[in-house]
Amino acid sequence: MKHLAIVLLACAATGAGCKKKSNESTGSGGGTGTGGATAKPPEPFTGALTIDRVMGARDLVKPFDPWDEGFARLQALVGAPSRVEGARHTWAVVEGDGCAWFYVTRDNGADYKMEGIIVGTVQAPVKSAKGDGGHNDCLKAAGVNLGPPEDPNAAGPPADGSPVPLADVRKNVIPGRSKWKDQKVAIAAVLGGVSTTTSGTDKYVTVSLTAGADDKEEPLACAFEKNAAAPDIKQGTNVVATGTMQIQEWTSMGSGEVTLKPSLASCTIAAAK
């Protein structure tokens, strides 16, 4: 009691009441000492991205986190995304033979009965090396073009849609693949064979195209639409095949080397006139 009396007398003697510090609780449950101001987001990282930084992003955000806050945390560690494709935001980096990457998606919370924009899918950071499964996915995420370098002088498909001899396609399609991929093209070739497979009630027809009887190279596959009828054309007939050019990636399980192979999708063929 004597101690309490001394404290009270000291407060009275100063001419001002003794108050709690501004950051002490006031009993209202909401005092923070900042007046409710929102904390400023961290500044984005602007240095060179490394595998260590990418791997350090594990558990930095989780699905359903508010997007703005989660994205700010990610950028503070790994900077701006390496690639943005629609809702997917990807970070990827290559160091020597190693590669690391991860991605998150920016989703509408209403799709999950939540408010605002949220973090959707979170792929945890993955590190890989040449020959590992998924390594090529990481390289592509980092912007690495798989396969041989492109040749800017390689010819593309004709603008008028006229048929291109198969030999010319083989010569230009891989070196100039950015000009051919997903383009509708017509190819003059020889019908090498027809194969039909079934899955349940569905039928799939694929024809093989060659440059002639003495052609030693791998035939070009030409896949018809599902349940399309097989062509009534004899093997060895000169044909014009029309379809959408696809570039398929084949990876050696041992070396990890990538081979690119062209093929046609949504294909139709007719006997050459």
Which residues of the chain have a pLDDT value below 50?
A: 1-35
One domain for residues 197 and 105: no
The per-residue b/e assignment along 107-119, b for 16 or more CB within 10 angstroms, e otherwise, is bebeeeeeeebbb
Instruction: Say what the pLDDT of residue 252 is.
Output: 66
One domain for residues 237 and 203: yes
Q: Can you give the residue range of the structural domain that contains 177? A: 164-271
* Domain assignment present for 150: no
One domain for residues 169 and 221: yes
Instruction: Say what the pLDDT of residue 161 is.
Output: 94
One domain for residues 213 and 252: yes
One domain for residues 172 and 259: yes
Q: How far apart are CA 217 and CA 206, in angstroms?
A: 18
Instruction: Say what the pLDDT of residue 94 is.
Output: 95
One domain for residues 170 and 137: no
* Domain assignment present for 175: yes
For residue 4, the SS3 value is: helix
Cα 56 to chain centroid, rounded: 20
One domain for residues 133 and 168: no
Q: How far apart are CA 122 and CA 33, in angstroms?
A: 35
Instruction: Say what the pLDDT of residue 135 is.
Output: 87
Please report, for the domain that includes residue 191, its CATH number: 2.40.50.140
One domain for residues 134 and 170: no
Instruction: Say what the pLDDT of residue 256 is.
Output: 63
The count of structural domains within the chain is 2
Helix (H) / strand (E) containing 258: strand 258-271
Are 98 and 118 in contact by the 8 Å Cβ rule? The answer is: no
One domain for residues 131 and 198: no
* Domain assignment present for 34: no
One domain for residues 185 and 257: yes
Sign of CA dihedral 168, 173, 176, 180: positive
